[in-house]
Structure 1
Amino acid sequence: MSMIQNISLVGRLTLNLASLNNEGSEGNATQPRSATVVQDGQLYSVPVISGDMLKHWHADHLVKIAQDRGLPLSTNSNRRNPDPNRIKSELSNPEWVKANIPEAEGLSGKIKGEDRQPIETALYREVAKACVVTDAHGLLITEINTGEFDASVAVARTSRIQVGFMVGVPSKSVTKHYFHTKFVSTRTGKQAREGGANEGQNIFTRPATSAEYAIVVNIDLAGLGFDDAKNDYVIPEEDRKKRKKAILDALSYTLLSQPGANSSQQFPHIMDFQGAIVTSANRMPAPTISPIKEGYLDTLKGLIETANEMTDSETMSLKEINGIEEAVKYLTAIGKQ
């Protein structure tokens, strides 16, 4: 394989009896998340799992991998339940700022105007360098306040990982609601009705969805460890390889385990994954076509053929995937490059 700079995963992940991403409750009924999609000119209401949830799963798996492998993590990331604010904890710590942002030395009070530029430039470096989760998933920093100085800034670390909603394919998804009661030795509902202690006999309904979920993921591997302000890498190539492997392994873990809502009693039955992994060995992004569309693989193959003609090379390739084990095996091979 050539050195891969960009990768896309598209396909259908089959889950049975899952309740991973709900919108809340109405009375005693949990409401599943749904959305409207277009397929063949018709509108359909289908179960969905938000891209925020998919990103959360990947970030959660990436934290665990980074902890095992000694990759850099911010204080907020290096927790059992990671905080999406990531390195913002470090930015309020004057000792950390002094050690890692020498451009801030001697600053005090309110920093305004052009005086903020060296700070912003340094922050672009640190979001790429200091934490593998921040590097991969991005962060927006609007302020740095150490107690010694305060600066309003605008530093946006663009996420190197782009994901879409997981969308139930219209003809291959269904949601049912199931009646539940909480077992107690005394079957009176008096305590539950008269107080808020969640005691007594509670009656409620919970959804369970069985579906082929269409998935679209794109990862800019070449953007890892890249300082957007300096327009250059700020970590060694060996460290970039370690981060790339961790991020691809986390994608494999995401296919294998979805730690979403209600998984303590409705852990999803993972059945299969069918689709493709597209790779690009230059700065042209690996294309995607929604797996909601029937015949999406044929369309994707045609796009790749055209893309290679555009560059007069064979830098774009597609690996058709038949099964989760094949997806994990191929992602692992790419991560070892």
Structure 2
Amino acid sequence: MKYIRISGRFSAEISVLTGSDTIGNYNTHSTAKVSVEKDGTYKTYEVPVITGNSLKHWHAVYLAKVYESLGGNKLNEFCKKGIGMRGYTRDSTFNEMKLPNSEKEAIEDLCNDIHGFLIPEKQIKRDSLVKFSFGVPVLRDDVLEYVSRFSVTHNRVSPIKSKSEKGEESQMMIFKQEYSTSPLYGFAASMDLEYVMRSIYESSTEEPKEKDEVEKRKRSSILALLYMFNGVGSKQARALPISEVKELLIAVSEKQIPNLVHGAYPDYVERSLDVLNSYKTLIKDDSLKVYGYKIKCEGGINCRNSLAEIFKEILGTVT
């Protein structure tokens, strides 16, 4: 399959989904405002969020890990170590950073290929093949009322004694980190794997010659999602996230398909199926398949009891 669309929900407890700022020794959590219609008017909530950029970052990190475990070796030092410094050649290192001369040269590196880059000096760019929305609490009063954001005190002990301005010796630094808890977050993602190892902004009708490498990159992109579904969170220095996948809706096709309705909407499954069924009727896409995990099996959804079953079927169609 060349095109994948995902929407779903997860819970998160005592997690730093996305760090925002530092004020002295106080580290804040990213927040955003969402609106919910109620009794003919709108009520606004300020809620902790996980940014699409954070989800994209972690997908790139897990992508490289899976790719290497599958035997892949066409990635530079930044990609291997999960550092978001894209736009350098495949053989670039910390000591020797090289800029490519074309998009074709740049996408020899795994992360440049899948997650895109921009080189202003040379006017070379590539859009990311993998995109994520913000993860936000489900837009229902019963969920939003129980979303919380709070701080926890941490101690950092130093083996070296230091003196404050007052001359007091100290080996301990106290700081606070904000965390968040929500019973239910929604998210959405899209993957356009049609363009793996193929230029987007350079005119070329040439098909990638390394078929095995293309397949390896597609499989790695899909499998990286499994890592994310079992532990989201952009800041893991102080504590790994406590999270659980609640439900998923996944659509795959050989043709370009619409994005699914975001999992934050209460009726996202029904609305997504309406979009997909309309698309299938008008486009005549016989390759379209829809999978569900822990949701109602209706409207042509192929429900499966485990993520392993769904991903096994999807991976079986990768070419």
TM-score, with length taken from structure 1: 0.76
Give the drift of 1:306.
0.6
Question: Is residue 164 of structure 1 aligned with residue 142 of structure 2?
Answer: no
Contact 2:9 2:184 survives alignment (8 Å): yes
Provide structure 2 residue ranges, at least 5 long, that are not aligned to the other structure.
Answer: 296-303
Which residue number in structure 2 is paired with residue 44 of structure 1? 45
Change (3 A) 1:293 1:78: closer
Residue correspondence of structure 1 range 218-297 to structure 2 within 5 A = 218-228=190-200, 229=202, 230-258=204-232, 260-261=234-235, 263-282=236-255, 284-297=256-269
Contact 1:73 1:133 survives alignment (8 Å): no
Change (3 A) 1:319 1:183: closer
CA offset digits 1:255-299 (Å, max 9, x no partner): 1233532x34432222233130011221x2242111121111001
Report which of the two has the higher share of helix: 1
Contact 1:17 1:269 survives alignment (8 Å): yes
Contact 1:289 1:299 survives alignment (8 Å): yes
Structure with bigger gyration radius: 1
Query: In 2, distance between residues paired with 1:254 and 1:134?
Result: 20
Contact 1:30 1:206 survives alignment (8 Å): yes
**How high is the sequence identity, in percent, across the aligned residues?**
19
Query: In 1, distance between residues paired with 2:12 and 2:225?
Result: 17
Change (3 A) 1:78 1:35: closer
CA offset digits 1:291-312 (Å, max 9, x no partner): 1211110011111111011113
Give the drift of 1:180.
2.0
Aligned residues: 294
Give the drift of 1:198.
7.3
Selected match of 2:310 from 314, 330, 333: 330
Query: In 1, distance between residues paired with 2:62 and 2:16?
Result: 20
Residue 184 of structure 2 aligns with an amino acid whose one-letter code is E
CA offset digits 1:154-181 (Å, max 9, x no partner): 1111110011111122442522424425
Change (3 A) 1:239 1:181: closer
Question: Is residue 309 of structure 1 aligned with residue 306 of structure 2?
Answer: no
Which residue number in structure 1 is paired with residue 150 of structure 2? 177
Residue 85 of structure 2 aligns with an amino acid whose one-letter code is P
Where in structure 1 do 4 or more consecutive aligned residues deviate above 6 Å?
A: 195-198
Query: In 2, distance between residues paired with 1:88 and 1:194?
Result: 51
